Amino acid sequence: MILFLIEIGKYLNIILLAFYTLLSFFAMKRRDDDGRNGLFYLLETHVYLLFTSGMACLTLSYYDRGDSEMVSKVIMMWAVELVLMFAYSRVMYHFYPELNRLILVQTVFMMSIGFVVQFRISQQKAWRQFSIIVVSLVISVFIPMIVHRLKLIKKFWYVTGIIGAGALIAVFALGAITNGAKLSIKIFGLIFQPSEFVKILFAFFIAGILYEIYNMKRFIIASVCAAVFVMVLVISRDLGMALIFYVMFFAMVYMGTGRFRYVLLGTAGGLAAVVAAYAMFSHVRVRFNTWIDPWTDIDSTGYQLTQSIFAIGTGGWYGRGIGRGLPGTIPEVGEDFVFSAIVEESGALFGMLLILLCLNFCFIMLLLAGRIKDKYYRIVVMGLAVCYGTQVFLTIGGGLRLIPLTGVTLPLISSGGSSALATLCLISVVQGVGLIRMDEIYGDDESDEEESEENAEIYDADDFDEADDAQDRETAEIEEYDDIYDLDGDAEEVYDDSDEYYDPDDYDDGYESKGSDVGYADDLNDADDADDYDMDGESGEYDDCDDGSEYDLDDYGEAGPETEGFYDDYGQDDSDHNVAEPSFEADGYEDEPEDDDVIQDHENETETDSAGCPGTERKGQ
């Protein structure tokens, strides 16, 4: 009965993972990143079900062996880890309600897979890994807020480059040698692998060089700086991490420039670097020869890779069942070959679905990089997404013998404290950038003010004084005509000097755009003759001049001097007004002027108004 349940369990795990994979890709197509719908809760529920199913299979396996002590330990580990994942999700939802929930769900999913496989491989390492992840989660909770609110990193990007390069140099000078490479350094009794964290600093640093202005000079500077990072890793013989930095750099250059030829250039340079590494380093030659033919030295250099291949082949499509495989036969199985252990017990189908979910995780970050408007953070997320994807490819590809072994861990699934902490920090940085994108969508006022302050610092206003003065004069004139003639239609009534009023709503759009002269045209529409229109309460006289002088409209003909021709311009019937055809040649125009020319001439009349009164300005007609 127990064996039957274990057999059913492995098929159930594949079905649950297949449904979860479909939901993940469907959710990736949705643009509502805040995820306020049932889809993301359904995904999260599937994560907990899949984790419970895996731990249940492991419990049944130990129960079948009669190991009651391990059964109780598995149950206790299941409860503690389930509470941790649920609490982490709730805390992130509470403090960051607008975060990208699909990234959060995928993070919890990868942790759940790591919890099951690490406890299966080694109980002691599993508890150690659990403790590191608890601390890492506490730290990672604050990172999105720091990235979202603290914009100084965008201004002082060069600091990240100095710190990152200094950390790598310190490892080269003081680091301990592990498997022929200087990878780690001990601080206060704790062993750290700084290159895992420098990946994040490297992304901020290169983005700072490329995001403001792109030209060949900037590209050369970025290339030289990236070469310093890569060369330090090469001479430290951390070639797997050097390859990750190299791929990150050219992906970020492509995002910053949009020029695909740099990707081709990077590919060609990478191939040349591989040839050079093969010639310079003996352990590179050993790994390359083992990759080509691991069977010739199966008991020595090829043992690790051949055991990985045997484990994958033994598992078949559906696996041997959790707890029924032999992962201990693979050296460094918890770090470099954890994918082989998963496929042996859960099957090739489970392994392929896991690869798809890793790709889904990478695609989510790439989509965020393509959607955010801020170029600096777009380049940063591009670098971090490619970093994650490259690390997954190197780990799984090495175990499957697609590429030579590089010694890189599978993020959140392999054992390793520095890798777990660095990966959670990387994901939290991406979540922080996601919050910045939500500000862009919903128009965060604070972000707009900060961006305006940044633009004010970048551009010197003194260089544009002359243009600003011209703009101010134009704005003042527009506001003056708006107030006098009610161009915006805000006022309900506009009064003239004789306490007569008119309603602006009766005017056509064409009249309003012509300024004050339109007032004459409209007020005269209801009059049989211009002489019948009483401007000041006394027929035929207008005494609004400053010097008290009067003039008779008859001196100017049937209509005012400036109103002539406006009826024709606006397509009005002027049969009742007997307006003479205007002479444009007399005004200095060879042909009929454009509307803008007429308006400009009207605006230039500052010393004499239409009535011939020196120094007077028109008031609301």
Residue position matching structure tokens 């391990």? 70
461 pLDDT more than 60: no
**Closest CA relative to residue 377, chosen from 555, 144, 86, 556:** 144
Calculate mean pLDDT across residues 410-415: 92
**How is 226-261 classified by DSSP, letter by letter?**
HHHHHHHHHHTT-HHHHHHHHHHHHHHHHHHH--TH
Confidence tier at 527 by pLDDT (50, 70, 90): very low
Is the predicted pLDDT of residue 82 greater than 50, yes or no?
yes
Distances (CA, A) of 492 to 250, 354, 489, 501, 618: 63, 69, 7, 10, 20
pTM: 0.70
pLDDT digits (tens, 9 = 90+) for 145-172: 999 888 778 888 889 999 999 999 888 8
Tell me how many domains the chain contains.
3
Q: Which residue has the higher pLDDT, 518 or 234?
A: 234
Query: Once rounded to an integer, what is the mean pLDDT over residues 265-291?
Result: 85
592 pLDDT exceeds 70? no
**CA–CA distance, 355 with 396 (Å, rounded to integer):** 8
Query: pLDDT above 90 covers what percent of the chain?
Result: 35
Sign of the CA dihedral running 12, 13, 19, 23: positive
Same domain, 300 and 435: yes
pLDDT of residue 484: 47
Asked if 372 and 223 sit in the same domain, the reply is: no
Give the end of a domain, one of 280, 303, 324. 280
Distance (Å, whole) CA 177 – CA 179: 7
Q: Both tokens of residue 233?
A: 């890793």
Q: Are residues 98 and 210 in the same domain?
A: no
Is there a domain that residue 86 lies in?
yes
| Confidence band for 311, pLDDT divided at 50, 70 and 90 | very high
Phi-psi region of 407 (alpha: psi -120 to 50; beta: other; left: phi over 0): left
Residues 242 and 260 in one domain: yes
Same domain, 209 and 301: no
| Total Cβ atoms within 10 A of residue 82 | 16
The stretch 87-101 carries a mean pLDDT of 91
Average pLDDT for 441-464: 51
Instruction: Confirm if 421 and 434 have CB atoms less than 8 A apart.
Output: no
pLDDT the model gives residue 449: 53
Q: Which residue has the higher pLDDT, 22 or 182?
A: 22
- As a whole number, mean pLDDT of residues 139-145 equals 94
Query: Of 29-43, 93-107, 136-150, which gets the smallest average pLDDT?
Result: 29-43
**Does residue 523 fall inside a structural domain?**
yes
Kindly state the percentage of the chain with pLDDT values over 70: 69
Q: Output the CA–CA distances (angstroms, integers) from residue 406 to 197, 237, 261, 337, 402, in the order listed.
A: 18, 11, 27, 11, 12
Tokens of 190: 């704790």
Residue 531 within any structural domain of the chain? yes
Q: For 203-253, how does the pLDDT look when each residue is reduced to its tens digit (9 = 90+)?
A: 999 999 888 767 788 888 888 999 999 999 888 888 889 999 999 999 999
Asked if residue 353 and residue 380 are part of one domain, the reply reads yes
Please report whether residue 327 resides in a domain: yes
Asked if residue 327 lies in contact with residue 345, where contact means CB atoms within 8 angstroms, the answer is yes
Q: What is the pLDDT of residue 99?
A: 87
The answer to whether residue 432 is domain-embedded is yes
Cα–Cα distance for residue pair 207/382, rounded to 1 Å: 10
CA dist., res. 122 & res. 433, Å (int): 36
Question: What is the residue type of 174?
Answer: L
Residue 584 lies in a domain: yes
Q: Are strands 190-192 and 494-495 parallel, antiparallel or unpaired?
A: unpaired
CB within 8 Å of 181: residues ≥ 6 apart: 236, 237, 238, 239, 283, 407
Of 110, 54, 102, nearest to 411 (Cα)? 110
Q: Out of 160-174, 196-210, 536-550, which region has the weakest mean confidence (pLDDT)?
A: 536-550
Rounded Cα distance between 136 and 125, Å, is 16
State the Cα–Cα distance between residues 113 and 130, nearest whole angstrom: 12
The mean pLDDT of 600-619, rounded to a whole number, is 43
What was the pLDDT predicted at 132?
92
Question: Residue 181's beta-bridge partner residues?
Answer: 178
Rounded mean pLDDT, 102-127: 92
Give yes or no: residues 303 and 425 share one domain. yes
Average pLDDT over residues 534-558: 45
Residues 293 and 163 placed together within one structural domain of the fold: no
Whether the pLDDT of residue 37 is over 70: the answer is: no
Q: Give me the pLDDT at residue 193, please.
A: 87
Q: What pLDDT score was predicted for residue 579?
A: 44
Q: How far apart are CA 577 and CA 524, in angstroms?
A: 8
Q: Clarify whether residues 6 and 139 are in a common domain.
A: yes
Residue 459 in this model has a pLDDT that exceeds 50? no
- Do residues 512 and 504 touch, judged by C-beta distance below 8 A? yes
Same domain, 551 and 473: yes
Residue at a domain's end among 216, 251, 280 = 280
Is 389 within the bounds of a domain? yes
- What is the model's pLDDT at position 180? 67
Residues 335 and 244 in one domain: no
Residue 301, φ and ψ in degrees, nearest 5: -65, -30
Give Cβ neighbours of residue 584 (< 8 Å, ≥ 6 apart).
590, 591, 592, 593
Identify the pLDDT of residue 474: 53
Last residue of a domain, one of 406, 426, 441: 441
Which single residue is written with the structure tokens 């990234």?
A: 103
Beginning with the edge strand found earlier in the chain, give each strand of the sheet holding 190-192 in spatial order: 176-178, 181-187, 190-192
pLDDT of residue 88: 95
DSSP 181: E
- For residues 85 and 28, membership in a common domain is answered with yes
Over the chain, what is the mean pLDDT? 76
- The answer, yes or no, to whether residue 621 has pLDDT greater than 60, is no
**385, 366 contact by CB (below 8 A):** yes
Instruction: Determine, yes or no, domain membership for 618.
Output: no
* Inter-axis angle of helices 417-442 and 101-121, nearest 10: 170
The pLDDT value recorded for residue 7 is 85
Counting every residue written for the chain, the total comes to 621
Question: Which pLDDT score, from 0 to 100, does residue 471 have?
Answer: 54
* CA distances for 294 relative to 82, 332, 406, angstroms: 41, 17, 15
Rounded mean pLDDT of 339-365?
Answer: 94
Q: Take residue 534 and report the two structure tokens written for it.
A: 């009483």
Give the range of the structural domain holding residue 597, as residue numbers without chain letter: 466-603
Q: What local confidence, expressed as pLDDT, does residue 36 receive?
A: 53
- Three-class DSSP labels, 252-296: HHHHHHCCCHHHHHHHHHHHHHHHHHHHHCHHHHHHHHHHHCCCC
**pLDDT on residue 607:** 43
Q: Tell me the pLDDT band of 4, cut-offs 50, 70 and 90.
A: confident
